[in-house]
Amino acid sequence: MSTQRLEAFTDGVIAIIITIMVLEIHVPKGSDLGSLREEAPLLLAYVLSYINVGIFWNNHHHMLHATERINGRVLWANLGLLFWLTLVPFVIRWIDEAGFTADPVAAYGVVLTGAAISYLILERTIIAANGPDSRLAAAVGTERKGRMSLGLYICGVVFAFIEPWVSIAIYIAVALMWFVPDRRIESLSQR
């Protein structure tokens, strides 16, 4: 099976996720900039979520360009990643309704943790389908950055019950780590 169909499907689902996220943003009730303050938590959650979804999409794109073959296991692993990403609009809506409180902030971290685990599973499934000497296997190596991100997400979930803003800072830190696409895969696809 071609990676192009998988990439096109994933692109479509991610476009829908982003559309749902932006549709959840309410128009301010007032006509001045001060009225934006009420919507600030949702806007901040939207920006962070947009960046996170974009990071997963960007790295997914590069990963598929380093992939020659996919199989049924890869398709299911990809669906696992998309499942977690589709929950992002739900948790940012919960943050909007409840504020930056323990449970919604922890749920946001659980969704990011699930997406990170699913991404790593997808990566390993693609490597298994393409062999240990594949271009992707050579590019990702031990996947230290991915595992560190996963650990930070788990810390963010725990800290949500102590101080939710620390969790938000952790989620932002992970996003900053990944803001630039994975250079290992990007450099490989340019060769």
Profile the chain (191 residues) by mean pLDDT over runs of 10 residues.
Answer: 86 94 82 80 88 93 90 96 97 89 97 96 94 86 84 97 96 90 59 54
- Give the pLDDT of residue 187: 60
State phi, psi for 85 to the nearest 5 degrees: -65, -30
What span, in angstroms and rounded, lies between the C-alpha atoms of 84 and 72? 19
What span, in angstroms and rounded, lies between the C-alpha atoms of 130 and 116? 21
| Gyration radius of the chain's alpha carbons | 18
**Paired tokens of 39:** 């919507």
- Give the pLDDT of residue 183: 64
Which amino acid is residue 114, in one-letter code?
G
How far the first Cα of the chain sits from its last, in Å, is: 23
Q: Are 3 and 67 in contact (CB under 8 A)?
A: yes
Q: Are 165 and 108 in contact (CB under 8 A)?
A: no
